């Protein structure tokens, strides 16, 4: 499994903000970014903390959105980062702009818990149209 680096997350945020003509670029919560980089691949007492790619992607999306890691563009960055993580690991998702917007706008108003993460993971899995073996 290929994980995104700290620099890649920052680049995704910069890309999102350049497209939006925003000048408020930067990391406001470096420790949160470290969590997003490190935690999806963690093994605890011999057990993978997040056992499948969908939960890992959901973790990335949920944490970037909920922890306000960047100064601006957290929701857009979260969705693009989650999709990029899935893409580099061979997965492609298909959904409309309205479906993507609805999904990402639901995250900030939801509790930051495992139940929401699992719901998000199921949504991602449901919208998978192709994957690499």
Q: How far are the Cα atoms of 14, 24, 27, 36, 48 from residue 7, in angstroms, in the given order?
A: 10, 17, 11, 12, 24
Q: How far apart are CA 127 and CA 36, in angstroms?
A: 23
Q: What is the pLDDT of residue 100?
A: 87
Q: How far apart are CA 25 and CA 62, in angstroms?
A: 20
For the entire predicted model, the pTM comes to 0.91
Q: What is the pLDDT of residue 105?
A: 87
Q: How far apart are CA 81 and CA 32, in angstroms?
A: 14
Short-list 54, 80, 51, 50, CA closest to 65? 80
**Average pLDDT estimate for 116-126:** 94
**Average pLDDT estimate for 41-60:** 94
The architecture that CATH gives domain 6-131 is: Up-down Bundle (1.20)
What are the residue ranges spanned by the domains of the chain? 6-131
**Average pLDDT estimate for 7-21:** 96
**26 has a pLDDT exceeding 80:** yes
Phi, psi of 4 (to 5 degrees): -75, 150
pLDDT 10s digits, 55-86: 999 999 999 999 999 999 999 999 999 999 99
Tokens read off for 89: 């690991």
pLDDT 10s digits, 97-116: 899 888 888 888 888 899 99
């Amino acid at each position: 499994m290929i994980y995104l680096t700290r620099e890649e997350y920052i680049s995704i945020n910069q890309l999102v903000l350049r497209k939006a003509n925003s000048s408020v670029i930067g990391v406001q919560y470096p420790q949160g970014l470290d969590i997003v980089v490190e935690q999806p691949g963690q093994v605890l007492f011999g057990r993978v903390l997040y056992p499948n790619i969908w939960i890992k992607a959901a973790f990335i999306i949920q944490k970037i959105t909920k922890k306000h890691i960047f100064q601006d563009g957290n929701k857009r960055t979260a969705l693009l980062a989650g999709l990029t993580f899935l893409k580099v690991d061979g997965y492609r998702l298909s959904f409309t702009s309205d479906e993507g917007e609805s999904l990402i706008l639901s995250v900030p108003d939801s509790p930051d818990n495992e139940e929401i993460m699992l719901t998000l993971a199921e949504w991602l899995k449901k919208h998978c149209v192709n994957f690499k073996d």
